[in-house]
Amino acid sequence: MIEQTLSIIKPDGVKKNLTGNIIQLFENNGFEIKAIKKLILTKEEAEDFYYVHKERPFFRSLVDFMTEGPIVPIVLSRENAILKNREIMGATNPKDAAEGTIRKMYAESIERNIVHGSDSLESAKFEVSFFFNYFDII
């Protein structure tokens, strides 16, 4: 099934000038870029985006990290986009990530892990519409 998923190049990935490399990886893996932008989240926006984690001990630190600099949200499309993107990203903790994955290659820690990717159809819908409206997605 052709799906859409949301990827975010996080502040650590943008700061390390990895935006181009990561987009290239997506294109090399058959993803189409349907929408893309660069922005800085407010604390409130980051809290809303990660509301599912609001009771977690790392929530405040995650919000601080996600607001420390620009991010690049991207709408990606391909067959099984959600699962395939998660494969390319690797495990949340770079220590557990497979060789060749984005997080294995570039991430410093479980928090500063370079990219985010939607984990289900339901979260993809919420996350895509968090950053983009219908007319932004080509």
**What residues are annotated to the active site?**
116
Q: Decide if residue 68 touches ligand CMP (CB under 6 A).
A: no
The C-alpha atoms of residue 108 and residue 3 are separated, in whole angstroms, by 30
Tokens of 22: 């990561």
Tokens of 2: 């052709």
Out of 54, 58, 80, 96, name the contact with ligand CMP by CB under 6 A: 58
Q: Decide if residue 85 touches ligand CMP (CB under 6 A).
A: no
- Give the footprint of ligand CMP on residues 9-38 (CB under 6 A): none
Buried b (16+ CB within 10 A) or exposed e, 34-49: bbbeeeebeeebbbeb
Q: Looking at 15-23, 34-42, 70-78, 106-114, which segment touches ligand CMP (CB under 6 A)?
A: 106-114
Q: Decide if residue 111 touches ligand CMP (CB under 6 A).
A: yes
Q: Decide if residue 45 touches ligand CMP (CB under 6 A).
A: no
